[in-house]
Structure 1
Amino acid sequence: MLSFRTTGYNGYAVKYSPFFDSRLACAASSNFGLVGNGRLYILSLTPSGIICEKHFDTQDSLFDVCFSESHSNQLLVASGDGSIKLFDTTVDQFPVLQYKEHTREVFSLSWNLVDKGLFASSSWDGAVKVFNPDANQRASIATLPVGACTYSCAWQPSSPSIISSVASDGLCRIFDLRSPPPGNEIIKTRVSQMEVLTQDWNKYRPELLATAGVDRVVRTWDLRNPAVPVTELQGHGYAVRRVAWSPHWPDVVLSASYDMSVRVWSDGSNGAVGVGAGVGGAPAGQGRLLGVMDRHTEFCAGVDWCLFGGEGWAASTGWDEMVWVWDVGSVMGSR
């Protein structure tokens, strides 16, 4: 395992670059994000460990980070003052663009993997917004009303127009930008009786979504039949802050929790692409815990997979001011 300390700043999100297997970004906040500054770390994995290539300081807390899919040196951060800042690692100190439409904390960012000129943001103000930075526009091109504190938004990986969101009302909403507003909400389904903090789309099965939150359960959903979960994964002791499907194994999902652990799960589909347990209303699948990474000593808030190299490298960050880079395969039991 490799580690880096974000001294004085508590980690909220960590992301691998989609262009370089040795580059990470970490969004962190002073005073646990309650008050004070934020800091964006650009980290490099080297033979001698993790080093900080550069950092950018911000006047308010940072809650998420997202690399551009079209410019290798650019990345976004989500700020507690309602702003979204676009930084370029070749430019010192200041963001190259800034968006200020949200009226409360921005908590999630997602870059479109198909139409790489678009990104989406979600906020505690109850809205998801879509932006096009390549058009040099400071205004959003679409606003999708959620109506509740929106903790996460995510583009469907194989679609240029479908966005999902989860919120404090326990609902998951799916929007299609091709439909005229307000009818662009095409699915609304309850995924928990409590606040939902995180979600992620399966990279191999475009109909499959994972959600988790305050009730501590990671659930997977086939959106062709969203009435019942495909799989329920139970084991965390506190709220689940982040989930992330593997880009290498179709049945494997990571979860980061306030119980200070990162857990590795199989959803029970045994990695069969296009075959989802529970599809068509069958009982929830027999998912299982594969392993636990328990190096964090405070709330674990962020986790992400590396797209490159050997299968299974991941990074996590948390309120203990630590970033860990680790091999998921080393903590997994027999598959």
Structure 2
Amino acid sequence: MNLSLQTKGRHGYSVEFSPFFPTKLACATSQYYGIAGCGTLYVIETGPNGLIPQTVFDWNDGLFDITWAENNENILVTGAGDGHVVVWDINQRRGPIKASKEHTKEVNSVHWTQTRQENYFLSGSWDKSVKLWDISRSQSLTTFLGHEAIVYSVRWSPHIPGSFASASGDHTVRVWDARRPETPQTVIPAHSSEILTCDWSKYDQNLLFTGAVDGAIRGWDIRNPQTPICDLRGHSLAVRRIKTSAFQRNILASVSYDFTTRLWDFTINMAVETLEHHTEFVYGLDFNLFKPGEMADCSWDEVLRVFTPKSLINPGMTLQH
């Protein structure tokens, strides 16, 4: 599969497949590269006629990240450039059902809990804070402080209830217990530059990956984080987002300001495929949880792509089930 959608006048920041439907995904975009203007949320269906926008929502500032609810197939949360956390019902086309502004600066990252025990999601912001939200409440439950710079990424553990990681411009990734906001459980000085992204292994509860402005991707055993378990080099510019595969234990993907999307086998410390199908910074990235090998990415070049890399069609020796 190799499909594309033009998001004309809107620069792609985040894309995520639905956790309920294999043919549905959403994309968060911003006008004028997120520096000014509004944001647009696309809800898209894939099919024989390509990528078809089913619903399009506008917000009065850029939209920088997106996450689907895990308890309601119609609910999406976005992070906005004006500090709002915005909740949408894709069946209500008039606008958001809720918008909460507690962050004082841009909301870079939002993520719904992956352990299905709570109605919780997280938001991370340029204001250096992480906030914990309950979808049924209008105000946040908890604020996590300690980062000394922008929080670029927040990710719930897919294994341990209440555990999440946050990646920051202060060169650290931190692991938190949502029940103990006073101090992180672990602080890892993971790179010598700003850390823009992190993600957990879907197979090992102790394995956390980071990507940074230095172009490197590193894997960490959070029980013993003194030395990375892998150090993946190949991107020539900042790594903007990484995602681990739910189907192959040893595979992760990354997108970068160097215009590429890459597939890596971290057990052999090398890229297994490089895709050069964008002409600007690539920001958004996701794997389809229903279709092994199917992926999506989006870029500042105003193109959203859904595709299956060759290395995931014919995995060969490097991809282990």
Scaled by the length of structure 1, the TM-score of the pair is 0.91
Shift of 1:213: 1.3
Q: Which residue matches 1:162?
A: 163
Over 3 Å counting, the alpha-carbon distance change for 1:331 and 1:304 in structure 2 is: farther
Measured in 2, the distance between the counterparts of 1:8 and 1:318 equals: 12
The count of corresponding residues between Structure 1 and Structure 2 is 313
Q: Which residue matches 1:288?
A: 270
Q: Which residue matches 2:228?
A: 229
Q: Which residue matches 1:88?
A: 89
CA contact (8 A) 1:290 1:334 kept: no
Unaligned runs of 5+ in 1: 269-285
Shift of 1:83: 0.2
Which AA in structure 1 matches 2:172?
A: L
Over 3 Å counting, the alpha-carbon distance change for 1:300 and 1:331 in structure 2 is: farther
Q: Which residue matches 1:117?
A: 119
CA contact (8 A) 1:166 1:199 kept: yes
Shift of 1:293: 1.3
Measured in 2, the distance between the counterparts of 1:66 and 1:131 equals: 13
315, 330, 335: which one aligns with 2:296: 315
Measured in 2, the distance between the counterparts of 1:264 and 1:182 equals: 37
1:7-26, aligned counterparts within 5 Å? 7-26=8-27
Over 3 Å counting, the alpha-carbon distance change for 1:101 and 1:3 in structure 2 is: same
Measured in 2, the distance between the counterparts of 1:159 and 1:16 equals: 22
Runs of 4+ in 1 over 4 A off after TM superposition: 330-334
Shift of 1:299: 0.6
Secondary structure at 2:131's aligned position in 1?
Answer: strand
Secondary structure at 1:206's aligned position in 2?
Answer: coil
Q: Which residue matches 1:260?
A: 259
Measured in 1, the distance between the counterparts of 2:23 and 2:65 equals: 20
Shift of 1:92: 1.3
Measured in 2, the distance between the counterparts of 1:149 and 1:79 equals: 15
CA RMSD of aligned residues (A): 1.2
1:22-171, aligned counterparts within 5 Å? 22-114=23-115, 115-134=117-136, 137-145=137-145, 146-171=147-172
Q: Which residue matches 2:280?
A: 298
Secondary structure at 1:31's aligned position in 2?
Answer: helix
Q: Which residue matches 2:185?
A: 186
Shift of 1:127: 0.4
Identity percentage of aligned residues = 37
Which AA in structure 2 matches 1:22?
A: T
Scaled by the length of structure 2, the TM-score of the pair is 0.95
